[in-house]
Structure 1
Amino acid sequence: MNYSWHELYEIDRFTIKYVVLIAKSKSQFILIRNKNRTVWELPGGKIEQNEQLIEAASRELFEETGALIFDLVEIGIYQMNGEYGVVFEADVEELGELPDFEIAEIQLSEYLPEGLNYGEIYYHIYEKYQEIKISKELIKTKINLKEKAIM
């Protein structure tokens, strides 16, 4: 697997195709299991045409976890096999019902378990996330889907 990490300012935003969320609720990781898979993964997915990064992150987090109120923070950009994705931290304040899309179930976990989907990429992303969280001041954006508001 070809993998690299980039700062937010290093990559043209129009080349970014994916969002990945390190999502937590009550200090526990939110893991998802797709209806067509047997393994757990982090929430995320493709950015739709004309969609801003924060809109894509909000949409994917809601569709895959039912999150209604949360803070989002852009962390950095990863490249895997020639394609770019942006990593967000999501601190979920309120989870609603899981929408009937592609996710079968969610699970809260105190740690990232072994054997997540997509090989080692999530563990590399989490390692970089921990480094950045310690070394930089990050800007949070409050999202409230109950009121359809970005604050």
Structure 2
Amino acid sequence: MLKVNFYELNTIEDNKLSFAVIMTKFNGQWIYVRHKERNTWEIPGGHREENENINDTASRELFEETGAIKFKLIPICTYAVERSEYVDYTESFGQLFYSEVETLDNLPHFEISEIKLFDDIPDSLTYPLIQPFLHKKVLEFIKSINL
């Protein structure tokens, strides 16, 4: 059983933030990406590199996974996925961001094979027990600040 837990920004120690996930809009639609080794869609994001600021992780991953070169990036919250079937499981934390992309360049040659624009969350998700909660959290954030 998976459970997604959300935390206010800056309530989890920075060194515990392992990854960045970026809910991204371009021309009014959501960008989802497809990894070269999968047939499903996921939110752009990835792991933090050693000594990297989590905001830099988000910017780097957004470029590497979508080709975005001009964008706004807003940190939303920290989240963790809790796996109740593992007694000794330690939460791994990520930071959730919202981005509005103005300019996309060619997709860099990394692990993503394609990006696609969606009006809503796609049906075929890589992480169907996690990604809908992240999508919903960002929608709530957008609504709360009238974006």
TM-score by length of 1: 0.86
**RMSD across aligned positions (CA):** 1.5
Q: Which amino acid aligns with 1:125?
A: L
Deviations 1:46-70 (A, max 9, x none): 0000100111001000000000100
Q: Which amino acid aligns with 2:15?
A: F
CA distance in 2, matches of 1:109, 1:134: 19
The aligned counterpart of 2:102 is 93
**How many correspondences in the alignment?**
138
Q: Which amino acid aligns with 1:135?
A: S
CA distance in 2, matches of 1:27, 1:57: 20
Match runs of 1:58-97 below 5 Å: 58-81=59-82, 82-97=91-106
CA distance in 1, matches of 2:138, 2:16: 21
- Give the superposition deviation at 1:129: 1.9
- Give the superposition deviation at 1:122: 1.2
CA distance in 2, matches of 1:125, 1:24: 14
- Give the superposition deviation at 1:137: 8.4
SS for the counterpart of 1:68 is strand
The aligned counterpart of 1:149 is none
Deviations 1:49-105 (A, max 9, x none): 010011100100000000010000000011013110000101000000000110111
The aligned counterpart of 1:141 is none
- Give the superposition deviation at 1:116: 1.1
**% of aligned pairs identical?**
39
SS for the counterpart of 1:2 is strand
Match runs of 1:12-51 below 5 Å: 12-51=13-52
CA distance in 1, matches of 2:79, 2:42: 16
Q: Which amino acid aligns with 2:33?
A: I
Deviations 1:14-54 (A, max 9, x none): 10101001011011011100000110101000000010011
SS for the counterpart of 2:125 is coil
CA distance in 1, matches of 2:146, 2:39: 37
The aligned counterpart of 2:131 is 122
Q: Which amino acid aligns with 2:52?
A: E
- Give the superposition deviation at 1:3: 1.9
Unpaired segments ≥5 residues, structure 1: 139-151
Q: Which amino acid aligns with 1:86?
A: Q
